Amino acid sequence: MPDWCLAAGFVRSLVWDKLHNFEVSTRLDDIDLIYFDPDFIFLEQELECQLKEMLNLPWSVKNQARIHSRNGDKPYHSTYDAMSYWVEVETAVGAKINHGEIEIIAPLGVNNLFSNSITINPKRPKIDDFYSRLNTKKWLEKWPNLKVHAPKYCGS
């Protein structure tokens, strides 16, 4: 697949588990495999099925070439570009094997990911989206040492 990586919770949760000294990894709701291919916009479901047949795991496959329309952004140019718009800085980290080496894809860097924090992406400063994800995913319950780096949210 072109311009692919395993990203989001797959990487983020592994790091947070290690920072919290968990002996057992936190259960993942899904394994996010992302790629960028403007020529084959809607292959995600087919690829998910193939992956589930090969490895019985909860795959979530998303072509970043089409996600901009869902998010109301201008078209992305690559997986790296798409990730730079994700809601949290720590989520915008991916990894893949490239010529036998692990390659990290992190348009917003990795420092925040390794500092026990959850930070709103200044490129997507939608506070309600940030806090909705924070609460729905129960990150502060799962990883209580996390520090939130975002403006206070009063709700609506």
How large a percentage of the chain has pLDDT more than 90? 84
Mean pLDDT, range 56-69, rounded to an integer: 93
pLDDT exceeds cutoff 90 at 80: yes
- CA 120 vs. chain centroid, Å, equals 13
pTM as predicted: 0.91
Mean pLDDT, range 148-153, rounded to an integer: 87
Per-residue pLDDT reduced to its tens digit, 11-42:
999 999 999 999 999 998 999 999 999 988 77
Residue 26 in tokens: 């936190």
**Burial environment of residue 51 by CB neighbours within 10 A (0 to 12, 13 to 18, 19 or more):** middle
pLDDT band at 156 (very low <50, low <70, confident <90, very high): low
Q: What is the pLDDT of residue 41?
A: 75
pLDDT exceeds cutoff 90 at 153: no
**Domain boundaries in the chain?**
5-149
Counting Cα atoms < 13 Å in the Cβ hemisphere of 156 gives: 5
More confident position, 154 or 130: 130
pLDDT exceeds cutoff 80 at 145: yes
